[in-house]
């Protein structure tokens, strides 16, 4: 089933380690080639009681480093660390290529449901043009009857764990999101709305801010993001 969906599964060769027996879905947002397939990514798909475009191009730093590549590189590092600890990891896309697109947000949203995953984390970078906007924030699904009512509380617990991991690693909390605590709740994201397992979307920073961009475009910065996300996931799974 997973192969027919174009998903990638990484599993520890020996079921041992502190995360043995757990399954984590990582969703590297967007795809490098989305901009080359406008008809495909603009097609409306289910998003939780309404429709939204299949996908979008994502953003980039002012220097041209694509969000899709950031998401992919951080997700791959995080996947390797999770597998080293014994977890099974499913990725919602298997490549970062200019000649590919998607998958759509409805597919991404439902991946964890089919395999009874313990959690799903969707990894992104923001593209705000607000003056001075920088820092990370973590988005949890709103409690919507018939959709996310059953996962809203554990998803918020996951969001708090991920926030703690990022904040303790030294990544600044977003200064442009209401509340100022690095947490947001949204009801308009199909990636979250269609999940039946605890899920969050994390915006690692604002790619348009020079300080955030420097962190995102450096190998050291991406490794720090992966380590911080791992800390948050492990705390939630405990």
Report the pLDDT value the prediction gives residue 195, as an integer from 0 to 100.
98
Q: Residue 11 has what pLDDT?
A: 44
Q: Quick count: other Cβ atoms within 10 Å of Cβ 71?
A: 26
Contacts for 3 with CB less than 8 Å, ≥ 6 apart: none
pLDDT mean values, one per 10 residues, the chain (238 residues): 47 70 98 98 98 98 98 98 98 98 98 97 98 98 98 98 98 96 98 98 98 98 98 97
| pLDDT confidence of residue 15 | 58
From the list 60, 203, 209, 233, the catalytic residue is 203
Res 7: pLDDT? 54
CA distance 16 to 159: 26
Q: What does the block give as tokens for 175?
A: 């200064």
Give the per-residue pLDDT at 12.
39
CA quadruple 8, 215, 174, 148: dihedral, nearest 10: 0
Both structure tokens of 69 = 């590549």
What is the set of domains in the chain, with CATH numbers? 19-237 (3.40.630.40)
67 is catalytic: no
Task: Classify the C-alpha dihedral 123-129-134-137 as positive or negative.
Answer: negative
Q: Which residues, listed in sequence order, are joined to residue 66 by a DSSP beta bridge?
A: 60
Classify 44 as helix, strand or coil: strand
């Amino acid at each position: 089933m997973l192969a027919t969906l174009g998903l990638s599964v990484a599993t520890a060769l020996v079921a041992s380690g502190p995360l043995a027996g757990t399954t984590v879905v990582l969703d590297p947002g967007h795809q490098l080639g989305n901009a080359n397939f406008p008809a495909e990514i603009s097609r409306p798909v289910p998003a939780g009681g309404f429709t939204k475009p299949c996908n979008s191009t994502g953003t980039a730093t002012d220097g041209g480093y694509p969000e899709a590549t950031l998401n992919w590189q951080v997700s791959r590092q995080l996947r390797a660390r999770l597998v080293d600890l014994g977890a099974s990891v499913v990725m919602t896309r298997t490549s970062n290529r200019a000649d590919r697109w998607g998958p759509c947000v409805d597919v991404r949203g439902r991946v964890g449901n089919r395999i009874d995953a313990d959690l799903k984390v969707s990894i992104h970078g923001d593209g705000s043009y607000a003056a001075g906007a920088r820092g990370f924030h973590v988005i949890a699904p709103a409690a919507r009857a018939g959709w996310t009512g059953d996962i809203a509380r554990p998803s918020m617990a996951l969001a708090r764990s991920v926030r703690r991991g990022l904040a303790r690693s030294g990544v600044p909390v977003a200064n442009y999101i209401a509340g100022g605590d690095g947490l947001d709740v949204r009801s308009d994201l199909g990636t979250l709305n269609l999940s039946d397992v605890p899920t969050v979307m994390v915006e690692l920073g604002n790619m348009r801010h020079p300080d955030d961009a420097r962190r995102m475009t450096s190998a050291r910065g991406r490794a720090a993001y992966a380590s911080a996300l791992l800390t948050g996931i492990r705390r939630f799974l405990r």
